[in-house]
Structure 1
Amino acid sequence: MKSSISVCILAKDEEGTIKDCIRSINHFVKEIIVLDTGSTDRTREVAASEGATVIEGIWGNDFGKLRNELISYATQPYILMLDADERVMNSESIDFEYEISLLQNAPNRAGRVEINNINGDRISVTKITRFFPNSSEYRYSGRIHEQLLYNGETPETISTKIKLEHYGYSEQAILLKNKIIRNQELLLKQLADHPNEPYTLFQIGRTYLVNKQYDEASFYLIEAYNYSNDKMSFYPSIIQALAATYLRMGRWNELLALLEIGIKTYPDYTDLYYIYGSALVEMKTVEAFKLIPTAFERCVELGDADPNKYEGEKGSGTHLAHYNLGLYYELSANLEKAKYHYVISSQLGFELANTRLARLS
């Protein structure tokens, strides 16, 4: 039985991805709507051939307005918002009727889904509100990195079992679509509309970080940090992004000071310890080298960051941490311990660990 859900997809020039997106969910929902904003490839034809209702829209440099237009076409009582470069990972194992029941009788409640952002062999994980009742009280706000609001306020949210894979952050996807330039332009316009708004400053900084423009990234992330506080849900992500920027710039004093605050505030945020361990490796001093195992052992102790609380990279508390411990013990000539950690990393699916084990054999 198909559930009473409208899947809403915003698309432009997604011929290569939209088929997989639709096929990952179309057997489980009653409606799929694609709002195409001017594709020059076969996006519309492919989507229609997969059973989606395709509507032609106009790109107006405002994702929030487009998403509001898109959900206005939905006819089912619940909406699941997807991007065309995403796919549902576990649709066959999801009880969609149960997920719907979580929202019934609570009109101000929306569901968060887990998004696995794929970039080569690295995966970052976050949770975003994407599943909500089809009601005029729900509307998106913001030109880009738009947020779903209920009567103008952040809705109460619950975690669903829906998991998505997202390929839009891969280097190839970014190059093909020129996403970085587009996102920067929209974010700067949004900042002009709302000066010093910490969420926008954060997203600008993170966009520069993804594009490896570290000077620009540090400027905006520092501004975001200065205008935010620990009552904001994205505050730990600001700290993580700024720490990652300092790491890439080799600004050790600032990094260590920031991590001291971050770890004190969020002692269970694995990625902060992982950045700390990575910094100790990059410092290349005897004193820093001695501290490396403590940092990565703490990562293993915690495991990967809880996506209900933090944005994190998969492996920071598992295969990547064990791999770095293997490197440390290999360099320390403790080959038995090195092999131990490489084996665990390998068993967790990290291919580079197999390469190190082969060298030690």
Structure 2
Amino acid sequence: MSSPRPNSTTFAETGGGIVSLVMIVKDEENFVENALKDVYDIFDEVVIVDTGSTDRTQEICSRYTQSVYSKPFSESFAGARNYALSLCSRGWIFFLDADEVIERSEAIKIISYLRGQNPDKSLGFTMYRYNFFQNGGWYTSRELKIFTNSGSEFFKGDVGESVRQSILADGGEIREKDWILLHYGHTRSRQIRDAKARRYLALFGDSSKPINELSWKAAGTIALLKRSLGEYDEALTFANAAHRTADNAFTNYCLGQIWRYRNASRAIEFYRRSLEIADDVLVANLLSIAFVINKEYERGLDILTSRSEINPRLTHLKVNIAVIYALKNDRNRCVEQMKKVRAEGPAFLHYRPTDDYDPYRFEMFDTISSYDGLEKISHMSGGD
């Protein structure tokens, strides 16, 4: 049994399905208002912990809640998050980053669902997150954002910190939902993103250990961070080390990500192996893109079409279907898919022209590297 957090209450004492919106912030004046303004009033409690802002972040947050606290950052994000949890009095926690947005209609749907739950053990939910870049490119992830506030849940880890371990250690359960979260942190400049990746590497600590002493999860995570910094050879070294330690879905995914724009055929091998071990629609999308890079358009289209029928809420699958139709010079079907995207996922219309060349398109986009916003898809061709 995990140790309860200090000052926490039991799920029953909080009245069950009542939701606290929780945020950790620092110097987020350009993002935090978008995170709060459309949803702050539908949560039962909004708790914000500032870890040392020098801009207008606290002032902006105070417009939306009186529960704004200060706690200097000390060594780990987990410590700050656990402090925030100790301040919450409701039965459910929804952790939102300052550069994330949950659309109001989605938040209402989630809160309605949670109010109908009365778990007798720790319970967490993962949701899909679309991570957007300046020019509308994106990658997709699954994030554990919602969980019970029973006193047994707490964050652990300096980077990639999560309550997952504490929930499972308490005999709890983590369930996957098709809820959608939007993330705009990668719309910052390349310099800021690179600095953040290097901070994560420094906080991670394990990057300085001998590679043969790393866990497969640590080696794989370091590989992905180094890939995003353009340190390809080192990334591949760490990914291979992770794979030697454990041949699992994550380590094969890591190798697929690093090989994708260097040798798509190798990437296909690793994505397929990852899917054999654990089926994942997000990896299936990446497999389809690797086929597209090899100009095997029909194979990519078959994967996306079947997955879109199974997961109709995942708009990015429709975006990539439109991309393939454009590359096949099938304009009518391309436009038909684009109309669906505009109606179902207006966030994909995000586009901010920039002169800052973004090498991340090769490393992190969940689409082809020449993608430059939804409205330009129909101008692509197979010769690009």
TM-score (norm 2): 0.74
What is the Cα deviation at residue 151 of structure 1? Answer: 6.8
Please state if 1:82 is matched with 2:100: no
- Which has the higher mean CA deviation after the structures are superposed, 8-17 or 150-159? 150-159
Residue in 1 that maps onto 2:359:
none
Residue in 1 that maps onto 2:19:
5
Residue in 1 that maps onto 2:307:
303
Checking the alignment, whether the CA contact within 8 Å between 1:7 and 1:32 is kept in structure 2 is yes
What is the Cα deviation at residue 93 of structure 1? Answer: 4.0
What SS does the corresponding residue of 2:124 show, helix, strand or coil? strand
What is the distance in 1 between the residues matched to 2:226 and 2:273? 24
Checking the alignment, whether the CA contact within 8 Å between 1:300 and 1:322 is kept in structure 2 is no
Checking the alignment, whether the CA contact within 8 Å between 1:140 and 1:146 is kept in structure 2 is yes
Which whole-Å deviations, capped at 9, do the CAs of 1:38-95 have from their partners, x for residues lacking one?
Answer: 1111111111122241111121221112211110111222211111111212346415
> Which letter maps to 2:215?
E
Structure 2 counterpart of 1:342, from 323, 330, 334: 334
Checking the alignment, whether the CA contact within 8 Å between 1:28 and 1:91 is kept in structure 2 is no
Residue in 2 that maps onto 1:334:
none
What is the Cα deviation at residue 356 of structure 1? Answer: 4.5
What is the Cα deviation at residue 137 of structure 1? Answer: 0.8
What is the distance in 2 between the residues matched to 1:197 and 1:140? 19
What is the distance in 1 between the residues matched to 2:73 and 2:206? 16
> Which letter maps to 2:331?
K
Residue in 2 that maps onto 1:288:
none
**Structure 1 residues 127, 238: closer, same or farther in 2, change over 3 A?**
same
What is the distance in 2 between the residues matched to 1:222 and 1:67? 33
Residue in 1 that maps onto 2:224:
206
- Which has the higher mean CA deviation after the structures are superposed, 37-46 or 184-193? 184-193
What SS does the corresponding residue of 1:320 show, helix, strand or coil? helix
Please state if 1:60 is matched with 2:78: no
What SS does the corresponding residue of 2:151 show, helix, strand or coil? coil
Please state if 1:261 is matched with 2:299: no
Checking the alignment, whether the CA contact within 8 Å between 2:18 and 2:114 is kept in structure 1 is no
Please state if 1:215 is matched with 2:220: no
Checking the alignment, whether the CA contact within 8 Å between 2:331 and 2:378 is kept in structure 1 is no
What SS does the corresponding residue of 2:142 show, helix, strand or coil? strand
Residue in 2 that maps onto 1:46:
60
Structure 2 counterpart of 1:245, from 258, 269, 286: 258
What is the distance in 2 between the residues matched to 1:65 and 1:144? 11
**Structure 1 residues 344, 216: closer, same or farther in 2, change over 3 A?**
farther
Matches within 5 A, 1:116-155: 116-119=130-133, 120-148=135-163, 149-150=166-167, 152=169, 155=172
What is the distance in 2 between the residues matched to 1:206 and 1:294? 29
Which whole-Å deviations, capped at 9, do the CAs of 1:205-254 have from their partners, x for residues lacking one?
Answer: 21222223222222222222222344xxxx2x443342131122x24564
What is the distance in 2 between the residues matched to 1:213 and 1:299? 31
Gaps of 5+ in 2: 1-16, 343-373
Residue in 1 that maps onto 2:377:
353
**Structure 1 residues 208, 11: closer, same or farther in 2, change over 3 A?**
same
Gaps of 5+ in 1: 282-291, 308-312, 331-337
> Which letter maps to 1:170?
T
What is the Cα deviation at residue 193 of structure 1? Answer: 11
Residue in 2 that maps onto 1:228:
246
What is the distance in 1 between the residues matched to 2:97 and 2:310? 24
- Which has the higher mean CA deviation after the structures are superposed, 262-271 or 52-61? 262-271
What is the distance in 2 between the residues matched to 1:107 and 1:174? 43
**Structure 1 residues 137, 258: closer, same or farther in 2, change over 3 A?**
same
Higher RCO (CA-CA < 8 Å; seq separation 6+): 2
What SS does the corresponding residue of 1:127 show, helix, strand or coil? strand
Checking the alignment, whether the CA contact within 8 Å between 2:124 and 2:147 is kept in structure 1 is yes
What is the distance in 2 between the residues matched to 1:47 and 1:161? 29
What is the distance in 2 between the residues matched to 1:88 and 1:243? 30
Checking the alignment, whether the CA contact within 8 Å between 1:64 and 1:140 is kept in structure 2 is yes
After superposition, the CA RMSD in angstroms is 3.2
Residue in 2 that maps onto 1:273:
287
Residue in 1 that maps onto 2:14:
none
Checking the alignment, whether the CA contact within 8 Å between 1:62 and 1:144 is kept in structure 2 is yes
Residue in 1 that maps onto 2:367:
none
**Structure 1 residues 57, 158: closer, same or farther in 2, change over 3 A?**
same
What SS does the corresponding residue of 2:30 show, helix, strand or coil? coil
Checking the alignment, whether the CA contact within 8 Å between 1:22 and 1:50 is kept in structure 2 is yes
**Structure 1 residues 154, 266: closer, same or farther in 2, change over 3 A?**
same
What is the Cα deviation at residue 107 of structure 1? Answer: 2.0
What SS does the corresponding residue of 1:147 show, helix, strand or coil? coil
Which whole-Å deviations, capped at 9, do the CAs of 1:95-116 have from their partners, x for residues lacking one?
Answer: 51431333x2322222223322
Checking the alignment, whether the CA contact within 8 Å between 2:201 and 2:207 is kept in structure 1 is no
What is the distance in 1 between the residues matched to 2:191 and 2:85? 26
What is the distance in 1 between the residues matched to 2:42 and 2:145? 17
What SS does the corresponding residue of 1:178 show, helix, strand or coil? helix
What is the distance in 2 between the residues matched to 1:127 and 1:242? 19
What is the Cα deviation at residue 298 of structure 1? Answer: 2.1
Checking the alignment, whether the CA contact within 8 Å between 1:323 and 1:341 is kept in structure 2 is no
Greater share of residues in strand:
1
What is the distance in 1 between the residues matched to 2:184 and 2:18? 27
Residue in 2 that maps onto 1:294:
298
Checking the alignment, whether the CA contact within 8 Å between 2:131 and 2:186 is kept in structure 1 is yes
